[in-house]
Structure 1
Amino acid sequence: MFKNFWHHRELIKQFTVRDVISRYKGSYLGIFWSFLNPLLMLTVYTFVFSEIFKSKWNTGSGSKMEFALIIFAGLSVFSIFSEVTTRSPSLIVSNSNYVKKVVFPLEILPISILGSSIIHAMISIFILISGVFLFLGEFHWTIIYFPIVTIPLLLYATGLGWFLAAIGVYLRDIGQIVGIAVQALQMLSPIFYPVTSIPDYLKPFYAINPFTYIVEDIRNIFIFGMLPNWTGLGFNTLIGIVVLLIGYYCFQKLRGGFADVI
């Protein structure tokens, strides 16, 4: 699998760049929207949660900007998973011209979407680091763990991307189901609220939610200067590898019928 991706690395790069460029093709601001969108999102969440809902985090500071950055940190990484999973069900169908080309590696299509989402997420992360430094006056060395704590997220996104891309060819309604499921998962993950505010009877569910550990680790390394939860990270990585392999297996198993269905 990895040898195959290394062999097609230039093709993956080209498709990733094409996806990023096509998103803003024809717009006046172009790629600048990649910077503007996260800034606008940060502004909106700051106003809604700090001014309207009067929400506070359990850090004791009461800073509205800190609250906004805490939420923004979780959203920045969740956007990678959200974009890959919501776009994957229609990915093969929307690129049907490649299906009948026997030599074309269809499995790189979800990878290119992942690459595109990572580029946009990195812009948000840059804004997050700048915000923590400018508004909170802090810069934590623990940000070096960012590539490590995102490994489970990338594994989940890639594995589910392959699985949903394959299933989406045969079951076109899966895209609508995935959209609702991703929104539900976002609200059921501690992105907009701390883990300490979760009722005791729901904590077992959050304990098995992989995004609980991912979101908490992102906040810890960027905002609080704390080390990741190594136990949760290790367990999440193992499960992510299983999801990756199952997704790849399902994609290769089902791809034989793509041309007949499309």
Structure 2
Amino acid sequence: MSFWRNRQLILQFIKRDISSKYKGSYLGKIWSILTPLFMLAIYTFVFSVVFQAKWNVNTDNKLDFAFIIFSGMIAFNVFSDVILRAPNLIISNVNFVKKIVFPLEILVVVVMGSSLFLAGINSLILIIGQFILNGVIQWTVVLLPVVMLPLILITLGLGWFIASLGTYYRDISHVIGLIVSALMFMSPIFYPVSNIPEGLKGLYSLNPISHIVEDMRRVLVFGQMPNWEWIFFGSILGLVVSFLGLKWFNKTRGGFADVL
């Protein structure tokens, strides 16, 4: 399998991608810690102080509310980072297409690896914050990789598909930006599922991000078991989407050089 054969190359590119995000800044990779801390503070202030929002939990602690939202954003940020960058992945790496023999399919994997690295830092900050605030670390955090598996598979498949389309149709990046923005508010990130009207809950259940966001809260914040039924079917769905996405990418890559 090309991904296994190119594992060292993938790791090198992930490191390069992470470093490039902070290249030239005085604080460098420290921003990977400061940014989520800043966002956590913003979530706390905006939703619990300005909007006086409440969650269906027995606590008035504003940081607990922020942790609930932050855990959902960790998952969604992995999805959005890969999907938003996918349309320009081939366009921004023209040299890999025209001048050398390069496994272009790994570019989506590299972006995923970079996003998972940042998600790991964000999760660690949330876990440490909970320990400082509540004096507890939920043992269910060990299930985080299992919870993330459907998200990783689905996002990779969509990433390959969108990377291919973005090479041929430049307007795709604008369309994807609108769709991702809509998905953020159509997923139960800033509100509990119980607040969704009964008539719309069926629609929300069709959104894979909704299930993943809920499971992130269960294992990171509430110390509950994830929805194993979703994990099973979501992983199968992810395998199908990733298989079809990669197949589409490989089928269309032959024309990349002609349109760049």
TM-score, length-scaled by structure 2:
0.98
1:29, distance to aligned residue in structure 2 (A): 0.6
Q: Which runs of 5+ in 2 are unaligned?
A: none
Structure 1 segments, 4+ long, off by >6 Å, are none
Q: What pairs with 1:234-253 in structure 2 (closer than 5 Å)?
A: 234-253=232-251
Identity of aligned residues (%): 51
User: Separation in 2 of the partners of 1:206 and 1:233?
Assistant: 16
Q: Describe the superposition over 1:109-156 as per-residue Cα deviations: whole angstroms up to 9, x where unpaired.
A: 111111111111111000010111111222111111111010000001
User: Separation in 1 of the partners of 2:32 and 2:137?
Assistant: 23
CA contact (8 A) 1:66 1:136 kept: no
Specify the alignment match of 2:168 in structure 1: 170
Query: RMSD of the alignment, in Å?
Result: 0.8
Return the match for 1:199 from 191, 197, 200: 197
1:62, distance to aligned residue in structure 2 (A): 2.0
* AA of the residue aligned to 2:172: I
Q: Describe the superposition over 1:12-60 as per-residue Cα deviations: whole angstroms up to 9, x where unpaired.
A: 1111111111111101110000000000000001000011000011012
Q: What pairs with 1:56-205 in structure 2 (closer than 5 Å)?
A: 56-101=54-99, 103-205=101-203
Q: What pairs with 1:40-59 in structure 2 (closer than 5 Å)?
A: 40-59=38-57
Say which SS state the counterpart of residue 105 (structure 1) adopts: coil
User: Separation in 1 of the partners of 2:43 and 2:89?
Assistant: 30
Specify the alignment match of 1:21 in structure 2: 19
1:106, distance to aligned residue in structure 2 (A): 0.5
User: Separation in 2 of the partners of 1:76 and 1:218?
Assistant: 8
User: Separation in 1 of the partners of 2:30 and 2:144?
Assistant: 24
CA contact (8 A) 1:35 1:123 kept: yes
* AA of the residue aligned to 1:141: W
User: Separation in 1 of the partners of 2:171 and 2:81?
Assistant: 17
Specify the alignment match of 1:222 in structure 2: 220
Say which SS state the counterpart of residue 106 (structure 1) adopts: coil
1:102, distance to aligned residue in structure 2 (A): 5.0
